């Protein structure tokens, strides 16, 4: 159980290390969960944009030939706000598991009673953090779907094994365990 928690913390760290730099720094008050009015506005704006504009985030990708001779197309720019909305509170979940849950689980590793008490006392905090993450998951999925070309190119250029959606589903999968 403790080893699984360590692996989970590593997975969260990888997702944060790879994608949080693209989101820049935001205050929590700027982060919004699913807001249907803004979601509709974002969808409307997307459909009105010319996706062949060639804008890229941080100039990461452009129309050029890669070293293996394959032409790389341009990807639409993904804003820092969209990145932040896509990631939701994953940074908070990572910090919580790394600084609170994992150390407490390591201390309770050989004592089933302590482990049970740990989960009982932490259950309200876990519910809040994961509830917020799950609510944001719909917004996250929409942003990924709208920018799949960008994220595929980013994954390829960074040599990442997992797609961004596979990384971001891990906290939701964790709930079922």
pLDDT in tens, 107-146: 999 999 999 999 999 999 999 999 999 999 999 999 999 9
Nearest alpha-carbon partner for 15 in 97, 109, 74: 97
Residue 39 vs residues 12, 116, 122, 158: alpha-carbon distances, Å:
26, 40, 33, 29
Q: Does the predicted TM-score (pTM) go above 0.75?
A: no
CA gap 19, 38 in Å, rounded: 23
> From the CB of residue 15, how many other CB atoms can be counted at a distance below 10 Å?
23
CA gap 151, 145 in Å, rounded: 9
Confidence of residue 177 (pLDDT cuts 50, 70, 90): low
Over the range 24-37, which residues count as b (16 or more CB within 10 Å of their CB) and which as e? eeeeeeebebeeee
Q: Higher pLDDT residue, 73 or 11?
A: 11
Tell me the pairing of strands 64-65 and 71-72.
Answer: antiparallel
Alpha helix positions (H), the chain:
2-23, 36-48, 80-87, 90-96, 102-107, 112-146, 148-158, 164-168, 170-175
Residues counted in the chain: 177
Q: Is the dihedral of CA 169, 143, 123, 25 positive or negative?
A: positive
Average pLDDT rounded to a whole number, residues 9-28? 81
The pLDDT value given to residue 74: 59
User: How many angstroms from the chain centroid is the CA of residue 137?
Assistant: 9
**34 SS3 class:** coil
CA gap 163, 87 in Å, rounded: 13
């Amino acid at each position: 159980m403790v080893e699984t928690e360590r692996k989970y913390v590593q997975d969260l760290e990888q997702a944060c290390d790879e994608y949080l730099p693209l989101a820049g720094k935001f205050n929590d008050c700027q982060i919004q969960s699913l807001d249907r009015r803004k979601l509709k506005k974002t969808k409307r704006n997307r459909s009105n944009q010319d996706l062949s504009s060639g804008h890229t985030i941080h100039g990461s990708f452009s129309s050029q030939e890669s070293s293996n001779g394959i032409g790389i197309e341009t990807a639409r720019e993904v804003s820092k706000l969209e990145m932040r909305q896509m990631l939701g509170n994953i940074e908070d979940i990572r910090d919580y598991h790394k600084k609170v849950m994992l150390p407490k689980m390591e201390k309770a590793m050989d004592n089933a009673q302590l482990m049970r008490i740990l989960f009982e006392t932490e259950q309200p905090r876990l519910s809040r953090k994961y509830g917020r993450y799950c609510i944001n998951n719909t917004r996250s999925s929409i942003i990924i779907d709208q920018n799949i070309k960008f994220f595929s190119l980013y994954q390829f250029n960074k040599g990442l094994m997992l797609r961004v959606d596979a990384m971001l589903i891990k906290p939701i999968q964790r709930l079922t365990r």
